[in-house]
Amino acid sequence: MITRMSQLFLRTLREDPADAEVASHKLLVRAGYIRRTAPGVYSWLPLGLKVLRNVENVVREEMNAIGGQEIQFPALLPREPYEKSNRWTEYGDDLFRLKDRKGADYLLGPTHEEMFTLAVKDLYSSYKDFPAKLYQIQTKYRDEARPRAGLLRGREFIMKDSYSFDMDDEGLVNSYQAHRGAYCRIFDRLGIDYAVCSAVSGAMGGSASEEFLAISEVGEDTFVRSTASGYTANVEAVTTPAPAAESIEGKPEAVVHETPDATTIEALVDWANSAELGRGEITAADTLKCVMLAVTEPGKDEELLAVGVPGDREVEMKRVEASLAPAEVRLLDDADFAKNPFLVRGYIGPRALVENEVRFLVDPRIVEGSAWITGADESNRHVVDLVVGRDFTPEGTIEASDVRQGDPAPDGEGTLTLERGIEIGHIFQLGRKYTDAFEVDILDVNGKRSRPTMGSYGIGVSRLVAVLAEQNHDERGLSWPLAVAPFAVHVVIANKDAEAGEAAAALAEQISAAGVEVLFDDRPKVSPGVKFKDSELLGVPYVVVLGRGFQEGNVELRDRRTGETRVLPCNEAAATTLELVR
């Protein structure tokens, strides 16, 4: 098939769009692949749609290869199933909600666990129907607070979501591993540089969870790798190795000291080292910082939560949210402190928290028997040698503090390095959360009623287009891998000779006749310089140029990905190009 640029619905731009922050956003708009319709909402133009469909086809082929069956649910969904699973509430402001003319509540689907579960309940009744792997490639909607970076974070996006249904946990593990393998093959075929990371399930629920992250400096997700093992995890899933508990016996008594203006950890450490406490040099790691949060569990009133971390650490809200999901979490503001005068800013300690029945969770490093310098709940006063298990007992631990380069790896092998990535896939062992919610009762091999167990597996299909653009571009434009490129070959006439035009058309016909899609730049009134710039911007893998050398019977064959250019006799151009494509 040949697409002529003189007829293609395309307009390339020389300037970056004003709202674009990342390379993929800039280049996909400039090259005429997508066009902004509203914040976080994009139209797919012909070239972009071809890339999107190519990505979809790779995903579809690998899903079918593991026995997946494709179906399609509506995007407009009734409230009732999401009410039953409690996600009408849990999703909060992220849901697009609407009413029909009769006042009934609907939502635009953010994900479809409920629909898949109900479909299986409706159609299957015996263990003989299982296992089942169902998937769809469909548009999703989430009301992102900050839609940004083009296709990387949108309000409307295309996702492949699949769901496995098995009668036992062994079957779930097999389905999970089948999807994991399919995902690796998908991303390998697309040529994406990615990492598979341990992750948390969050609002999805379930147990085992892994995230696939495309390596990128513009990624919003931070993940870690061990320097000495294969350990890889999203920072939200990193567990902190806890030191051994210490003996309480013989520890000095806790003493309250005057600490003028020590409202920061730095000031507190300066005071401690000048006070000659007899503990040697004091560092921020010897202090206990209490950070105040407001937590709202689904369907419940907001409550106070205190999180205690060593003073050399910061509370990382992403890790807090992951630890407390599906609850909503925020830091306290001035109004909150005004309503709770027992919270003395800069001097909050465990005593006031316990006395006022505020839930108190601590970093795993804060072990029994350890002694801390912390707030005494009065202005300009701190307590020294407050011992865990003697002077206060937290209600439990929480993974809330930041993860840093050089921290010990949770598996005990080496230390952690930090990298950035873009989430492109997430797989979960959901278990029976949804089959229990919808009472999916199946007759097992013994004729007794049993609940199937589920897995949930997502790939951001439209996001993959942006990821491929992020990982495959240079200062001149896009550079698509052959597996997803809108065309394999771009034929360019850079010679005004009628004979050159005829030869270019014939060359395009030869390549197309072999089953390879060709983009033919036959625009008559466009300069060679503009054509060359457009070919680099569009990023088709192989570019054949009929230019000045045509008079000697030669053409140029350019490899957009490597930058290599070779001069070929015109009569060898088609065969050589096809050999490279194949």
For 99, left (φ over 0), alpha (ψ -120 to 50), or beta?
beta
> How far is Cα 400 from Cα 353, in angstroms, rounded to an integer?
18
Q: What does the pLDDT look like over 204-250, one tens digit per residue?
A: 445 679 999 999 999 989 999 999 999 999 999 999 999 999 999 99
- Count other C-beta atoms under 10 Å from residue 267's C-beta: 14
Q: What is the mean pLDDT of residues 287-310?
A: 95
Identify whether the C-beta of residue 396 lies closer than 8 Å to the C-beta of residue 402: no
**Among 40-44, 324-328, 402-406, 414-418, which is the least confidently predicted range?**
324-328
Q: How confident is the model at residue 199 (pLDDT cuts 50, 70, 90)?
A: confident
Tokens of 77: 């969904």
Helix (H, G, I), strand (E, B) or coil at 389: coil
Identify whether the C-beta of residue 500 lies closer than 8 Å to the C-beta of residue 553: no
413 pLDDT exceeds 90? yes
Q: What is the mean pLDDT of residues 543-562?
A: 91
What is the structure's pLDDT at 201?
A: 61
User: Where do we find the tokens 């296709």?
Assistant: 151
> How far is Cα 178 from Cα 334, in angstroms, rounded to an integer?
51
What is the structure's pLDDT at 4?
A: 95
Reduced to 3 DSSP states, what percent helix, strand and coil does the chain have, rounded to the nearest 5? 30, 30, 40
Between helix 498-513 and helix 573-581 the angle, nearest 10°, is 40
Tokens of 169: 């946990």
Identify whether the C-beta of residue 168 lies closer than 8 Å to the C-beta of residue 453: yes
Q: What is the mean pLDDT of residues 29-50?
A: 97
Q: How confident is the model at residue 451 (pLDDT cuts 50, 70, 90)?
A: very high
User: Quick one: how many helices (H) and strands (E) in the chain?
Assistant: 15, 32
**Among 29-33, 184-188, 201-205, which is the least confidently predicted range?**
201-205
What is the structure's pLDDT at 71?
A: 98
Q: Which residues contact 218 (CB under 8 A, 6 or more apart)?
A: 22, 23, 149, 152, 420, 422, 470
What is the structure's pLDDT at 208?
A: 79
The H or E element spanning position 176 is helix 169-190
- Count other C-beta atoms under 10 Å from residue 36's C-beta: 15
Say if strands 132-141 and 69-70 run parallel, antiparallel, or are unpaired: parallel
Q: What is the mean pLDDT of residues 456-468?
A: 98
Kindly report the pTM of this predicted structure. 0.87
Q: What is the mean pLDDT of the chain?
A: 94
What proportion of the chain, given as a percentage, has pLDDT over 90? Answer: 87
What is the structure's pLDDT at 202?
A: 55
How far is the CA of 338 from the CAs of 119, 150, 327, 332, 378, in angstroms? 51, 41, 24, 10, 15
Identify whether the C-beta of residue 151 lies closer than 8 Å to the C-beta of residue 49: no
- Count other C-beta atoms under 10 Å from residue 227's C-beta: 12
What is the structure's pLDDT at 91?
A: 87
Residue 218: what residue type?
V
Q: What does the pLDDT look like over 340-385, one tens digit per residue?
A: 999 999 999 999 999 999 999 999 999 999 999 999 999 999 999 9
> How far is Cα 288 from Cα 359, in angstroms, rounded to an integer?
16
Q: What does the pLDDT look like over 47-94, one tens digit per residue?
A: 999 999 999 999 999 999 999 999 999 999 999 999 999 999 888 899
Cα 71 to the center of its chain, rounded Å: 24
The H or E element spanning position 44 is strand 41-44
